[in-house]
Amino acid sequence: MIYRLFILVFFVVFNFAFSEVYTPETLKEKEEFNKLQKEKITIALVDDPFYNLSYPKTSSLNTTVEKFLKNYMQLDITFKKVTYKDLQSEINSGVIDGIAFTPKSKSFDNKLDFSESIFSEELYVISKTEPIYSLNDLNNKIIYTSYIDVYTNILKAILDNNDLHACPIPVENLKKYDDKYILTTNPVLYKPKYGIKIGHSSGITIALSHKYKDLLPFINNALSGGYRKIFLNELDSLNRSISYNNFYTSLTSEEKEYLKTHKPIKVAYEKDSDSLVSYKSKIDGEYKGIAPNIFKILKRNLGIDFIDITNTDYKTINDLKNNDFDTTVLSKTQKRSKDFIFSKKIYEIGTYIINLDNSPASSRTIGVLKDNVEEHLAQRYDVDNNIIVFNDFNSMVNALNDGEVGNLLVTNKEDFDSNKYNIVPFETIPVNFMFNKNNTVLRDIINKAFEYSIDLKGFAELSQLERDAENKAIYLKNKETRDILVLSSVLFIFIILAISVNLYKERLNKKNLLKDSLTNLPNRFIFDKFCNEENSLTGSTFVIDLNNFKNINDSLGHEFGDVILKEFANFLKNSFIDSHIFRISGDEFYGFSFESHEEIIGKLKKYKDFCPTLLKYNITFNLGVSHKTANISLATSFKYSDLAMLETKKEKSKFYKIADDKFIEKMDRESSILSLLKEDISGIYPMFQPKYCIKTNRIIGAEALARYSSLELGPIGPFEFIPIAEKYNFIHKVDYKIAKESIVFIRDLLENEVSLDNFRISFNISMKTFKRDDLITVLTGLLNYFKVPGKYIEVEITESIFILDMKDLITKLKALKNLGIQISLDDFTAGHSTAGLLPLLPMDVVKFDKSLLDSLEVNKSKGKIVYKNLTSLIKDLNFKIVSEGVETKEQLEFLKFLGVDYAQGYYFSKPISKDEFTTEVKTL
């Protein structure tokens, strides 16, 4: 370590010492350069918070470039600070002859030439309050940007490629908008809570007007001669200072005290582990990989001292309980959660089942490495001690090759040649730092360090690079290069996205930005300003959304739609005189008012019930209202109003909803659920609801339904967490998990020799999961691995999948059928236009939705006719029918009368646990 530090210090010193001033090589060049040195040049330093920022031990980048051009290049330059907004006009008018830091920009193309890139930059969209988990979250959003069109163009191109759209608005001071979406290359400046990386700039350069373009070759020469490294070092140390500052100010006094007194933090890695997370280097015996790299960067960025005791003092993980050491890195499992606490996940490892093609089908044994997470994982799925534990990797592989063990469960699939072995993806497992239960202080410090200092995503790639390097034994030869790699890792080692930048020439029209031309109400731009500037106001916020407005435009024409919008806007203006009303989008109006909720609702209700235009054309709207107290920002209050408005659309009983404490609690709960499940879905498990044959009254199978409960929040229903998993794109993890547990269940029943004639467990596959390319591979792999024939399995899909590409849909359905899996169409109701597709699709079962039965209560005779006709239609198509939500004997009798095949519902049984269900089927 010390040795490495020496190299670094030497390197930095060397860079500064390599020469005081720049001198060209040849005489001719010297002459030319001398001439240029006499020119009086004015260069703009961009007035950007990042380039201006300095710390006691770190000078700003603007200062560094001044030193470069003035002291090192010895040019006669005057510097002038210019805002991004004024750059263009200052260049056009010839006040400045160049810019010190700018990306290559097309809009300067005919005025300026650019040097080679000094450093590259990554582009992020971030926010303090608006959740951003994927690009989709940016769709149709306003994104505040600086006046650098290059970045805006990259944003546009990325969104375009994903069929998304956003509205960028350039502003002078981005900091003012950090609770909205902002586009920036320096997220650390804003301490965002949410953010995603969207791309990569082509590089920051020095730009000069054509008149001085002969200087550029000299500048390039000086940069590659060594000065670029000085820039990079300065940039790196600046970033570290910012991170450190952000991190340190986030600490509580107790945490600060801990860092001061408790030094160093003792880390022990899993002994002899060989995963990317931590592995023992074959070259120097040190632990390398993601976790050690994280600690290295924590030490470098934040000065958190740590010491690796794996090879000296480490005995067992239980010593963590005695505080013999402070942390180790392990997967969070439910078993371990009883005794330990965990940091946020630092990585996610895939596990794989490995077997030989020709292995006899009876060989159900599974080999795992001792004390590895694979062992824990295997135990979860093991019923009768099929696990064989190996002490080392080689003997484990030999045992597989010799047929002594049928399968291996491993994390490192690269060790297996896919020509020789079957490699089936199994479950992914989160990896975390683990601490003593009492050590929440350290856990919180580490979590804050992740939040404020480092981007955990970079480490896997970095560590893979290192490991490859080590494996190829170029490690030793290139030790220096490698050190630089580590030094600038977090900032500079990332996959370079290939970005094709489409030119986005439209200039935003200032005037249109202020008032909505149709209704004359202030628009979103003013609204955002209002939210920023009037945060101290208290009163009510409300959000109104007109329903089906698109239909009105489509059926009656835009002119007509415009009249209605104008009329509506006038009503708002006249009845909310002392309020602030905004038109946010086509049919969405926001308001802030000093009036009470009752007054606001009353006025709108009256208008809704008596306005002739609305009545005549059957136009309705929804309203969400919320208190704006001193404790919350306007933006938050509007957010709650908006959520309340959306809720009324779902509930449909009232046209308005007040975001009261209960509602706000519910919304906050949703975001807590998200943050729990985003980390780790291992707490999700299935319950099984039996299905009965109506004729024989026997169980013919069950539907597996996902359940979740967490220590923090208690039990959480699927109606809560499934929509969240769908919205944030991890529903496939839930579906695959339940699929696996269902298959395991069948295996267990088979092993217990329960007779399973015509018996099936079904599970739900959401549309988003169905769309995935790995659907068939995963299900095939699971069936093969657990040696369960597909005929015991049924997949429930909903009509929403019909919007998928027909060819893909049918290919997948056929592939499922080839596995012997049955397919059932869930939540089938009358009135669905897609019913026409039914005859075309290879399906087996149609599940009638509970609402169809419920409608019998409302209008008996009509409901019965509908049910009867649907039944005969589906029967004619040769599908089996499952009737869902059967609650009474009367309903059952009716179904029996119609000849419906199967029933599922509380009349028979609620969803029950695996054990309870096993008892049920055994007694059959």
Tally the C-alpha atoms within 13 A of residue 324's C-alpha that lie toward its C-beta: 14
Q: Which of 115, 301, 766, 822 binds ligand C2E (CB under 6 A)?
A: 766
Pairing mode, strands 880-884 and 845-848: parallel
CB nearer ligand C2E, residue 533 or residue 854:
854
CB nearer Ca ion, residue 466 or residue 826:
826
Question: Which of ligand C2E, Ca ion, none is residue 766 near (CB under 5 to 8 Å by kind)?
Answer: ligand C2E
Q: Which of 452, 317, 428 is nearest to 374 (CA)?
A: 428
Examine residue 796 and tell whether it contacts Ca ion (CB under 5 A): yes
Q: Which of 714, 728, 735 is nearest to 674 (CA)?
A: 728
Q: Which helix (H) or strand (E) holds 80?
A: strand 76-82
Provide, rounded to whole angstroms, the least separation between the CB of residue 849 and Ca ion: 6
Residue with tokens 């160093």, as numbered in its chain: 264
Question: Which of Ca ion, ligand C2E, none is residue 735 near (CB under 5 to 8 Å by kind)?
Answer: ligand C2E
Q: Which of 188, 694, 734, 903 binds ligand C2E (CB under 6 A)?
A: 734
Segment 337 to 376, residues that bind Ca ion, using CB under 5 A: none
Examine residue 735 and tell whether it contacts ligand C2E (CB under 6 A): yes
Tally the C-alpha atoms within 13 A of residue 278's C-alpha that lie toward its C-beta: 27
Question: Per CB under 5 A, which region of 89-97, 135-143, 183-191, 764-772 contacts Ca ion?
Answer: 764-772
Provide, rounded to whole angstroms, the least separation between the CB of residue 852 and Ca ion: 11
Task: Output Rg (C-alpha) for the chain, integer angstroms.
Answer: 33
Question: Per CB under 5 A, which region of 66-74, 561-569, 669-677, 823-831 contacts Ca ion?
Answer: 823-831
Question: Per CB under 6 A, which region of 223-231, 237-245, 505-513, 713-721 contacts ligand C2E?
Answer: 713-721
Question: Which of Ca ion, ligand C2E, none is residue 3 near (CB under 5 to 8 Å by kind)?
Answer: none
Whole-angstrom distance, CA of residue 146 vs CA of residue 420: 55
Question: Per CB under 6 A, which region of 212-220, 276-284, 519-527, 732-740 contacts ligand C2E?
Answer: 732-740
Question: Which of ligand C2E, Ca ion, none is residue 723 near (CB under 5 to 8 Å by kind)?
Answer: none
User: Is cis: bond before 103, omega within 30 of 0?
Assistant: no
Question: Which of ligand C2E, Ca ion, none is residue 809 near (CB under 5 to 8 Å by kind)?
Answer: none
Provide, rounded to whole angstroms, the least separation between the CB of residue 847 and Ca ion: 5
Question: Which of ligand C2E, Ca ion, none is residue 722 near (CB under 5 to 8 Å by kind)?
Answer: ligand C2E
Examine residue 799 and tell whether it contacts Ca ion (CB under 5 A): no
Whole-angstrom distance, CA of residue 688 vs CA of residue 368: 30
SS3 512: helix
Q: Which of 739, 826, 886, 895 binds Ca ion (CB under 5 A)?
A: 826
Structural contact between residues 543 and 622, judged by C-beta atoms closer than 8 angstroms = no
Provide, rounded to whole angstroms, the least separation between the CB of residue 721 and ligand C2E: 9
Residues in binding contact with ligand C2E, number by CB under 6 A: 24
Provide, rounded to whole angstroms, the least separation between the CB of residue 844 and ligand C2E: 16
Question: 3-state DSSP helix/strand/coil percent for the chain, to nearest 5?
Answer: 45, 25, 30
Residues 6+ positions from 215 with CB-CB distance below 8 Å: 36, 75, 208
Q: Hey, what are 108's tokens?
A: 């300067």
Examine residue 701 and tell whether it contacts ligand C2E (CB under 6 A): no
CB nearer ligand C2E, residue 217 or residue 718:
718
Q: Hey, what are 350's tokens?
A: 């895939």
CB nearer Ca ion, residue 302 or residue 687:
687
Q: Which of 145, 201, 365, 764 binds ligand C2E (CB under 6 A)?
A: 764
CB nearer Ca ion, residue 595 or residue 849:
849
CB nearer Ca ion, residue 490 or residue 704:
704
Examine residue 822 and tell whether it contacts Ca ion (CB under 5 A): no
Q: Which of 74, 718, 817, 819 binds ligand C2E (CB under 6 A)?
A: 718
Provide, rounded to whole angstroms, the least separation between the CB of residue 660 and ligand C2E: 25
Provide, rounded to whole angstroms, the least separation between the CB of residue 699 and ligand C2E: 15
Segment 830 to 869, residues that bind ligand C2E, using CB under 6 A: 850
Whole-angstrom distance, CA of residue 808 vs CA of residue 814: 10
CB nearer ligand C2E, residue 560 or residue 906:
906
* Beta-bridge partner residues of 704: 688, 763
Structural contact between residues 278 and 269, judged by C-beta atoms closer than 8 angstroms = yes
Whole-angstrom distance, CA of residue 760 vs CA of residue 699: 10
Examine residue 723 and tell whether it contacts ligand C2E (CB under 6 A): no
Examine residue 764 and tell whether it contacts Ca ion (CB under 5 A): yes
Segment 650 to 679, residues that bind ligand C2E, using CB under 6 A: none
- Quickly list H helices, 22-148: 27-38, 49-52, 61-66, 84-92
**Backbone phi, psi, residue 249, to 5°:** -70, -15
**How many helices and strands (H and E) does the chain possess?**
34, 35
CB nearer ligand C2E, residue 231 or residue 763:
763
Structural contact between residues 195 and 125, judged by C-beta atoms closer than 8 angstroms = yes
Examine residue 722 and tell whether it contacts ligand C2E (CB under 6 A): yes
Provide, rounded to whole angstroms, the least separation between the CB of residue 846 and ligand C2E: 13
Question: Per CB under 6 A, which region of 193-201, 370-378, 867-875, 880-888 contacts ligand C2E?
Answer: 880-888
Whole-angstrom distance, CA of residue 640 vs CA of residue 919: 47
Whole-angstrom distance, CA of residue 344 vs CA of residue 918: 37
DSSP codes, 830-853: TT-GGGGGGGGS---EEEE-HHHH
Examine residue 889 and tell whether it contacts ligand C2E (CB under 6 A): no
Q: Hey, what are 920's tokens?
A: 């049920």
Examine residue 735 and tell whether it contacts Ca ion (CB under 5 A): no
Q: Which of 169, 706, 841, 921 binds ligand C2E (CB under 6 A)?
A: 706
Strands (E) across 233-294 are located at 265-268, 274-275, 278-280, 287-288
Structural contact between residues 746 and 704, judged by C-beta atoms closer than 8 angstroms = no
- Straight-line distance from the first to the last Cα atom of the chain, in angstroms, rounded to the nearest whole number: 68
Q: Which of 97, 137, 826, 901 binds ligand C2E (CB under 6 A)?
A: 826
Q: Which of 600, 664, 604, 601 is nearest to 629 (CA)?
A: 664
Classify residue 535 as exposed, middle or buried by CB count within 10 Å of its CB (0-12, 13-18, 19+).
middle
CB nearer ligand C2E, residue 264 or residue 717:
717
Examine residue 731 and tell whether it contacts ligand C2E (CB under 6 A): yes
Residues in binding contact with Ca ion, number by CB under 5 A: 4
Question: Which of ligand C2E, Ca ion, none is residue 168 near (CB under 5 to 8 Å by kind)?
Answer: none
Structural contact between residues 144 and 171, judged by C-beta atoms closer than 8 angstroms = yes
CB nearer ligand C2E, residue 516 or residue 826:
826
Question: Which of ligand C2E, Ca ion, none is residue 487 near (CB under 5 to 8 Å by kind)?
Answer: none
Examine residue 199 and tell whether it contacts ligand C2E (CB under 6 A): no
Question: Which of Ca ion, ligand C2E, none is residue 45 near (CB under 5 to 8 Å by kind)?
Answer: none
* Beta-bridge partner residues of 347: 431
Examine residue 827 and tell whether it contacts Ca ion (CB under 5 A): yes
Question: Which of Ca ion, ligand C2E, none is residue 14 near (CB under 5 to 8 Å by kind)?
Answer: none
SS3 459: helix
Segment 902 to 921, residues that bind ligand C2E, using CB under 6 A: 904-906, 911
Angle among Cα 7, 9, 15 to the nearest 5 degrees reads 100
Whole-angstrom distance, CA of residue 453 vs CA of residue 433: 16
Q: Which helix (H) or strand (E) holds 612?
A: helix 612-616
**Backbone phi, psi, residue 111, to 5°:** -110, -30
Conformation bin of residue 897: beta by default, left when phi > 0, alpha when psi is -120 to 50: alpha
Question: Which of Ca ion, ligand C2E, none is residue 560 near (CB under 5 to 8 Å by kind)?
Answer: none
Contact positions vs ligand C2E (CB under 6 A): 689, 705-706, 717-719, 722, 731, 734-735, 738, 763-764, 766, 826-827, 850, 885-887, 904-906, 911
Contact positions vs Ca ion (CB under 5 A): 764, 796, 826-827
